[in-house]
Structure 1
Amino acid sequence: MDPYADHAEMANHWWWRPGWKVGTRFYAWHITLDGQDELHQLIDQYQEALRPFPTLDPIPRKWRHITLQGLGHVEDVSDQQRDEAVQAVAERLAKLDAIESTFQRAVIFREAIALPPSNPEAYTHLRHEIRAGITDAWGWCPENSEGFRAHASAAYSNGSASAAHIRLALDATGSGASRVIVPAISLICMNRDRRTYQWKSVEHLRLVH
């Protein structure tokens, strides 16, 4: 089954996951998209096409990202544990090169409009190395290793809707491909208090060696 196949129906993304509420803070490894102007321009075009759909919340440029791996709720991770994980992940990433990808066609997930990379396996490998680093430090790794789909989201769904008209709007944009080079990842401290993901960066780790 194609992990990037369109869903026929969309659902609300903003339900509260276990352990989450207003005020929750969470450590996670993300690729932030600062300076990725080509990708931002492509997402902007898709967002313009999606403006007629009130069940879709466009993601502001500042908060666009590629999710990689959670580390844990801030209250559950001591500063020492966090720093040990960062050091171990850094040692793993020091052996990896930057990732170069193209992004083009938007797809419809159940809870988001997303753009897959041309080489999702490179991001899966990156996530594997992050998970291995956390395991080096802690002896175990949070979250399931399965079901990962590398993507940059353009909008989150805030309710139920059929995907058929959304698909037509996306296809009508005629958007071209955008090139992305990923030289680093970030450990962020994130929240979703305002129906969007916002964060402060804690650490940046470069992939280029």
Structure 2
Amino acid sequence: MSDQATDPYADHTEMANHWWWRPGWKVGTRFYAWHITLDGQDDLHRLIDQYQDALKPFPTLDLIPRRWRHITLQGLGHSEDVTAQQRDEAVHAVAERLAKLEPIDSAFQRAVIFREAIALPPSNPDAYANLRSEIRAGIADAWGWCPENADGFRAHASAAYSNGQRPTREIREALDTAEPRDGSLVRVTSVSLIRMHRDRAMYEWQTEVDVPLQNPEH
């Protein structure tokens, strides 16, 4: 049986509350981040819906509405710490790099249990790691440095967040029962810079800009 030391997507045996306040975060905090927002990814949404139906009996899980499902890539910074000029310079530099990347085609099927979330990993996580690396390089092109640690990235689309402690055995059984024979297919053609908050125990946002992959205009 694999564990987190050898497999970043290995199940945890105990879940914990995701909604503790990270340093610098509070009600009212707004944060810029690069996400894949999953707008229009109906095949993946149907798969997540199927898993969520199986998770409804568990009160320690907050199910994520379709509107707020996403794949996290890279933080840019708190909105009060990033000027409009800095934001725009980073967007321009990231767009220059992403224009040279091809769209990403992935399959999603099995759900895994992180310590603080139920997540679906893509079939090709290295493609997302490369996408994140290019975003980080673009930010560094603009700013001379990049926030956040380069290590520890796990590409995934979350289905639910944990709001408390709970052993995972029964959750694993429910996910296994709900797992479909066939997964879902996703094509990623853009990433979004969002301005997000978590005031209501859910990540919610407004999109600042969408940046396409493989853009001939750059």
Return the alpha-carbon distance in structure 2 between the equivalents of residues 14 and 174 of structure 1.
27
**Cα shift at 1:64:** 0.1
Q: Percent identity?
A: 74
Which amino acid in structure 2 is aligned with residue 103 of structure 1?
Answer: F
Q: TM-score, normalised by structure 1?
A: 0.99
Instruction: In structure 2, give the amino acid aligned to 1:86.
Output: V
Aligned to 1:202: 208
Q: Using the TM superposition, give the Cα deviation of residue 88 of structure 1 relative to its aligned residue in structure 2, in angstroms.
A: 0.3
Aligned to 1:41: 46
**Which residue does 2:76 correspond to in 1?**
71
Deviations 1:57-78 (A, max 9, x none): 0000000000000000000000
- Aligned residue runs from structure 1 range 169-188, under 5 A: 169-175=174-180, 176-188=182-194
Q: Indicate if the aligned counterparts of 2:28 and 2:199 stay in contact, CA closer than 8 A.
A: yes
| C-alpha separation in 1, matches of 2:177 and 2:99 | 42
Structure 1 residue corresponding to 2:152, chosen from 142, 147, 166: 147
Structure 1: gaps (5+ residues): none
Counterpart Cα distance in 1 of 2:171 and 2:138: 40
Structure 2 portions without partners, runs of 5+? 1-5
Following TM superposition, the consecutive aligned residue runs of length 4 or more in structure 1 with deviations greater than 6 angstroms are none
Q: SS in structure 1 opposite 2:178?
A: coil
Which whole-Å CA distance do the structure 1 matches of 2:157 and 2:190 have between them? 15
Cα distance in 1 for residues equivalent to 2:154 and 2:178: 24
User: Does 1:14 find its partner at 2:19?
Assistant: yes
Letter in structure 2 aligned against 1:178? S
Offset of 1:129 from its aligned partner?
0.2
- 2:63 aligned with 1:27: no
Give 1:174 shift. Answer: 3.3
Cα drift, residue 9 of structure 1: 0.2
CA distance in 2, matches of 1:136, 1:174: 42
- Alignment correspondent of 1:115: 120
Aligned CA RMSD, in angstroms, stands at 0.5
User: Tell me, what secondary structure is at the counterpart of 1:172?
Assistant: helix
Write out aligned runs for 1:91-106 (5 A).
91-106=96-111
Alignment pair present for 1:193 and 2:199: yes
Q: Secondary structure at the match of 1:92?
A: helix
| SS of residue paired to 1:166 | helix
CA offset at residue 142 of structure 1? Answer: 0.1
Q: Distance in 1 between matches of 2:149 and 2:214?
A: 27
SS at match of 1:171: helix
Alignment check: 8 A CA contact 2:109 2:179 kept: no
* Cα separation, 2, equivalents of 1:173 and 1:124: 28
How far is the alpha carbon of 1:36 from its aligned partner? Answer: 0.3
User: C-alpha separation between the residues in 1 aligned to 2:86 and 2:25?
Assistant: 21
Per-residue deviation, residues 161-200 of structure 1 (Å, max 9, x unmatched): 0010000000001323000000000000000000000000
Among residues 47, 59, 66, which one is paired with 1:61 in the alignment?
66
TM-score normalised over the length of structure 2: 0.95
